[in-house]
Amino acid sequence: MKRSLRFPLVLLVLVAGALSCRSVGLRGKIPGPLYDAGDVEAVNETLFLLSAEEPGAAELQQNVADLLSANLESIDIAGGRYREISLWRSGAMPGGRSRSLGSLRFPARPGHPEHGRVLPEFRRLLTDWFRNRRQFRQEVMSELVDRIKRPVDRSYGHPDTGRPYATCAVVGNSGILLKAEHGDLIDGHDLVIRLNNARIAGYQRHVGAKTSLSFINSNVLRSCAVRDGCFCHPYGDFVPIVFYLCQPAHFVEYLVCNSTHKSPLLVTDGRLDTLCARIVKYYSLKLFVEETGKPPAMWGKFHDVEMFHYSSGMQAVVLALGMCDKVSVFGFGKSPEAKHHYHTNQKAELGLHDYPAEYEFYRDLVERPQAIPFLRGAGIKVPSVSFYN
């Protein structure tokens, strides 16, 4: 199969595999029409429809239903230094015993949310997110300036223009960053997005020093929540954080962290999560058919369907598409002589992500964005996108 010469690297690496999300998602309606008049890049409708299938959908629905009917217990741990919040589903076990759906122990500090306030907030957040998660609406792309850029600008005291950033850099975590010195180039962008709290100290020549937005998954948020002051700010207390939800129960971590946070802590819209899940599934199906010659229905036999999930980097790129006029991407890609992550000694990725599929998506973004079915009708002008090796 053909691969672009401009993109000799086949695999992508961005995030610590151990921190990756499990598959979440639901089916939704397919909006029409799929084709713009005169569009030469035909979308394969079979693959488009199949991309809506998410094997973990029923489990997710059950998980959310359980959480919505759960009771919450908030207790001070003896000694007074820690508090614990637990979610229980009563009568869910044989013999009518309660089942624990999640718990979080965190350093007790004044200002942490009180029992009475947490449960209704938790339910409201989860209900909203899940309602959105069940929808396929690519129009969410046109709302990202309002939903993410505006709060970020307000927190920095920047003028609220309602316009996209002129230039954005998305900085991934691949070891290929160490092969070049793009630090100044990266810092020259209006918005610099970094992923999953990757360290920059000691690497500034390669990765830059500026961070405008920290993008993390909720497993990272969870590890922050158990630290004093919900420490999640390797880039400074005032850098806004956007996270996506790996597990619905992580809204507890969100509430704990949000109550002490100095900068905005924003959760991605469930519709954006669904959009990203479908894009990656579509490209994964497409690659599978091209590479194996097998029918797309067999895709599930060759992938860990329950664990399959887009990478954090992929969603950060999609987020940037909705908020920026021009997007530069750094530190995405793998090469035999480069480390997996520039800042860790992690050897390899767990197989949760289909990086070659994400790479095909990026290649279309750069070379022929009109071929990406999911960005049609999104209500945005797709920015020009460049990848730096």
Ligand X SMILES: *[C@@H]1O[C@H](CO)[C@@H](O)[C@H](O)[C@H]1NC(C)=O
How far is Cα 73 from Cα 95, in angstroms, rounded to an integer?
A: 21
Find out whether 217 and 254 touch, Cβ atoms under 8 Å.
Answer: no
Q: Is 90 in the site for ligand X (CB under 6 A)?
A: no
Q: Counting contacts by CB under 6 A, is residue 44 touching ligand X? A: yes
- The 10 Å Cβ neighbour count of residue 361 is 22
| Pick 299 or 330: Cβ nearer ligand X | 299
CB of 213 or CB of 338, closer to ligand X? 213
Could you tell me the two tokens for 156? Answer: 């920095």
Strands of the sheet with 82-89, listed across from one edge = 71-76, 82-89, 99-107
C-alpha–C-alpha distance, residues 319 and 173, integer Å: 17
Q: By C-beta, is 11 or 289 nearer to ligand X? A: 289
Candidates 22-30, 40-48, 134-142, 325-333: pick the segment binding ligand X (CB under 6 A). Answer: 40-48
- State which residue, 240 or 296, has the beta carbon closest to ligand X: 296
Token digits for 331? 């530190």
By CB under 6 A, the residues from 122 to 181 that bind ligand X are 125
User: Does residue 248 interact with ligand X by CB under 6 A?
Assistant: no
The stretch near ligand X (CB under 6 A) out of 42-50, 99-107, 323-331, 371-379 is 42-50
Question: Can residue 357 be called a binding residue for ligand X (CB under 6 A)?
Answer: no
Task: Identify which of residues 50 and 180 has a Cβ nearer to ligand X in the complex.
Answer: 50
Among 13, 15, 16, 47, interactor with ligand X by CB under 6 A: 47
> Rounded to whole angstroms, how far apart are CA atoms 269 and 323?
14
How many C-alpha atoms does 64 have within 13 Å on its Cβ side? 24
For residue 341, list its beta bridge partners.
174
Among 28-36, 41-49, 91-99, 233-241, the segment contacting ligand X (CB under 6 A)? 41-49
What's the sign of the alpha-carbon dihedral 350, 356, 357, 360? positive
C-alpha 225/C-alpha 223 separation (Å) is 6
List C-alpha distances in Å: 364 to 109, 241, 345, 372, 382.
48, 28, 31, 7, 12
Tell me the closest approach of the beta carbon of residue 255 to ligand X, in angstroms: 6
Site track 109-128 with ligand X (rule: CB under 6 A), x = hit: ------------x---x---
Binding mask 300-329 toward ligand X (x if CB under 6 A, else -) reads ------------------------------
**Distance from first CA to last CA of the chain, Å, rounded?**
23
Cis, peptide link before residue 159, omega less than 30° from 0: no
- Token digits of residue 121: 């907030």
Which of 218, 258, 263, 268: binder of ligand X (CB under 6 A)? 258
Does the protein bind ligand X through residue 270 (CB under 6 A)?
no
Contact with ligand X (CB under 6 A): which of 289, 307, 371, 382? 289
CB of 104 to ligand X, least distance (A): 16
For ligand X, the binding residues (CB under 6 A) are 44, 46-47, 121, 125, 258, 289, 296
